[in-house]
Structure 1
Amino acid sequence: MRQPTILILATGASVIAHALVLSLPGWPAHVGIEPPVLHATLVVAEPKPAVDLAAVAAPPPPVVREQPKPRPKPKPSPARAVEAPPAVPLTAPSAGDAGEIAIAAPAAAEVQAADEVPPAVDAAPVADAAAELVAAADLKGFNVTGWPERGSIRFRVHLGEGGFAVGEAQHEWSHDGKRYRMSVAVRTTGVVGMFRSFHYAQSSAGSVGREGLKPERFSVEQSRKTPASAEFDWDARKVTMKRGAKERVADLRPGDQDLLSLWHQIGIVGAVSGSTELNVITGREATPSAVEVVGPEKLPLPIGLLDTVRVRAEARNGSLTIDIWLARNYGMLPVRIRVVDDKGEVLDQQAVELRLSPPGSAGDEPAVAGSGGERAEEGMIELRAEDNAFAHPTIGN
């Protein structure tokens, strides 16, 4: 019994000791009293915005009532111009007497709108006429004297609407005013080239005259496929296409081109009368096609922003559509070629490097397409993608 008594006495002594310590004047027992003062100041600040809000809330009603009082209708009412257009009386009978008042105000607005519309309508034909003049100038071409005697274009090849880069194409040409030669070679690059090597080449050769290019021989070579060729007999007006043991003969018309010479022919002679009918010769067939000028376009390319004329060659049977962008300030050379087949597959070639001989170099010995000799490089005008780092390729239409 003594132990519990001792514990009780010890506990009581401890409580009394703590109470004495806490009651000492030096102990910070009133620290928590200050916050209520802060709360009081916050409460006082609230009514002030409430008074301001009440004062602000009062003005809106009179402002709303003042708006209907000034009736601006009498000012537009001197729109006696309503009397001028006879169209108002014609519409009034169908609306009824009550409708005349309602129609009068819109009629004034319609008269004003009609006054504003004519300039816009007049401006459109002017713009269209300007576009037609530009297109008409482009339709005429510039004849063979404006065609650079030699040059090369390196294209980046994109596949599909998404513009997936699959390879590069190297195009070269040369002429001396009487004869021409040109070629293009396509090969896969990057990841695609690692998994599947692909090579495709075209070549065209023939004569040059007032009517532009007259192909005499066209050939096509492709990986894992039989080579194809086309022989042009302009005297007999026949073209013979061969692929292995297969042979086909088709009629020739003046101006017919092979698939490669078409790139330059359009820029040399243009498309007369807005649309030109011709046969486009491939290694397999002669396809009747319509060539027309789509119009001038500012075209962003890896080599820079160029003024171009977009021309379209479309097969009559819908098997192929070729869009060609010709650089107006660079000898009407093809700087973008977009091909879409009947299945919707897209092959888009965009120039990443352009080299051409300067004007007045006709006396120089023409370089052989594909030779790449030093003589061919001297004095060449060049555009390169690395010189235009901020230019981006155009994907899609």
Structure 2
Amino acid sequence: MLLHGLVLGVPGWEPFATSEPKDPPVLHASLAPLPEPVAAVAVPVAPPPAPVAARRPKPRPKPAPAADAAPAAVIAMADAPGEPANAAPEQTPPPPAAPADVIATAEEAAPAASQDATAAAAATGGAQEIKGVSIAGWPRHGSIRFRTSMGEGGFVVGEARHEWAHDDKRYTMSVALQTTGMVGIFRTFHYAQRSEGFVGPEGLRPETFSVEQTSKDPSSATFDWSAGQVSLHRGRGRSDRTAPIQRGDQDLLSLWHQIGIVGAGRDVTELTVVSGREATPAAVTVVGAEVQALPIGRLDTLRVRAAARDGRLRIDIWLANSYGMLPVRIRIVDEKGEILDQQAIELRLSPPGSAAEGDGAAGLSDEQNMIELRAEDHPPARPPFGN
């Protein structure tokens, strides 16, 4: 009874579909949008109008309106075929032609700029159509242990461990929940999620997602972004059905980090969150900044809420501002009002500029310099439950 199948089986959100202490060392993370790829092209284009304007004969006392136009517009009209002859009086002698070297420079610069823009788009995976994001503030690897409780009274039923790693191109992450204490004595329960995928201009792009749970068949999802659909599986290798997906959609686990990586505006963000059983439309909104009194200390956080459009589940995620926008508290409320609350009791993350996990000596050095917060360092505190 304590392990309500709908609630406890969701360290993230199942079956939902869609996400201070001042004394410890602080990781200052800035999750800012990258500059537009085209803006990054630094090829100076020589302005051909200037030489032409410098050699233009002195205008008549009452020049035609076209003479006051911007130099670029003048040249555009001069190059355009079929322009009306009254753009300038016939008696006015034509301006001298621009020097050959100026014309050559202009002709060479335009294709160069176009080629560089194309190369920049290819390097960013066609990011010209996407407002790219930076993952510089997302720690390369780390882990979070959560104390899991149920109900308004905060009855502790288990512990969850979340791990992640990425190398700027691919990511992998997992979470495993197990009953502890008196609940663990009377009933052993294990629940695990795993997500793998790519890191790109739009943040995380899941490739596979899987769920394993005590006494139930495993479930999984396989994302086919080129086809715009996800295949949902129940049991070993059986494909039950497919569902449509769009860029930006997430699985239950990747959502935890995606919100912190790309940020969330004040407006409602619509997306689909995928579990191993279904893909459900959801809405993500920012509740606001909050100071959370957690077992690892008081932290400045940003509270974000994700809610299933069908009203079955609601999840609130608190992201730590000074620790890579990592999720340090996750609270789920189901359609019956039952509560599952997870609060961080240990936080370990790689320092800024660290190597990917397991990268030889560099990875070992990073492991020795991991930034850590532990519940033992701060007295436990139960924050008030919000709406």
Provide the C-alpha distance between the structure 1 equivalents of 2:267 and 2:32, rounded to a whole number of angstroms: 7
The reply on whether 1:394 has 2:377 as its aligned counterpart is no
Cα 1:228–1:325 shift into 2, 3 Å: same
Aligned residues: 254
Cα 1:298–1:379 shift into 2, 3 Å: same
The 8 Å contact of residues 203 and 219 in structure 1, kept in 2 or not, is answered as yes
Q: Secondary structure at the match of 2:195?
A: strand
Partner of 1:313: 306
What is the identity, as a one-letter code, of the residue corresponding to 2:377?
D
Residues 198-347 of structure 1 mapped to structure 2, 5 A cutoff: 198-244=189-235, 245=238, 247-272=240-265, 274-347=267-340
Cα 1:246–1:319 shift into 2, 3 Å: farther
Structure 1 residue 198, shift from structure 2 partner: 0.3
Q: Secondary structure at the match of 1:144?
A: coil
Residues 52-91 of structure 1 mapped to structure 2, 5 A cutoff: none
Q: Deviation per CA, 1:366-387: give whole Å up to 9, x if none.
A: 249xxxx967632100000000
Partner of 1:382: 372
Provide the C-alpha distance between the structure 1 equivalents of 2:252 and 2:32, rounded to a whole number of angstroms: 20
Q: Which has the higher contact order (CA 8 A, sep 6+)?
A: 2
The 8 Å contact of residues 327 and 333 in structure 1, kept in 2 or not, is answered as yes
The reply on whether 1:348 has 2:341 as its aligned counterpart is yes
1:184 to 172, 175, 178: 175
- Provide the alpha-carbon RMSD of the alignment: 2.0
Q: Deviation per CA, 1:328-373: give whole Å up to 9, x if none.
A: 0000000000111112111100000000001111xx23249xxxx9
Q: Secondary structure at the match of 2:324?
A: coil
Provide the C-alpha distance between the structure 1 equivalents of 2:351 and 2:216, rounded to a whole number of angstroms: 39
Q: Secondary structure at the match of 1:267?
A: helix
Cα 1:349–1:385 shift into 2, 3 Å: same
Partner of 1:5: none
What is the identity, as a one-letter code, of the residue corresponding to 1:386?
E
Q: Deviation per CA, 1:6-41: give whole Å up to 9, x if none.
A: xxxxxxxxxxxxxxxxxxxxxxxxxxxxxxxxxxxx
Q: Secondary structure at the match of 1:225?
A: coil
The 8 Å contact of residues 252 and 279 in structure 1, kept in 2 or not, is answered as yes
Partner of 1:143: 134
Structure 1 residue 396, shift from structure 2 partner: 2.6
Q: Deviation per CA, 1:110-139: give whole Å up to 9, x if none.
A: xxxxxxxxxxxxxxxxxxxxxxxxxxx989
1:172 to 159, 163, 177: 163
Cα 1:249–1:325 shift into 2, 3 Å: same
Residues 143-162 of structure 1 mapped to structure 2, 5 A cutoff: 143-162=134-153
Provide the C-alpha distance between the structure 1 equivalents of 2:358 and 2:383, rounded to a whole number of angstroms: 31
The 8 Å contact of residues 162 and 395 in structure 1, kept in 2 or not, is answered as no
Provide the C-alpha distance between the structure 2 equivalents of 1:243 and 1:268, rounded to a whole number of angstroms: 30
More helix by share: 1
TM-score by length of 2: 0.63
Q: Deviation per CA, 1:227-270: give whole Å up to 9, x if none.
A: 00000000101001111246121001110000000000000001
Larger radius of gyration: 1
TM-score by length of 1: 0.61
Structure 2 spans left out of the alignment, 5+ residues: 1-29, 35-132
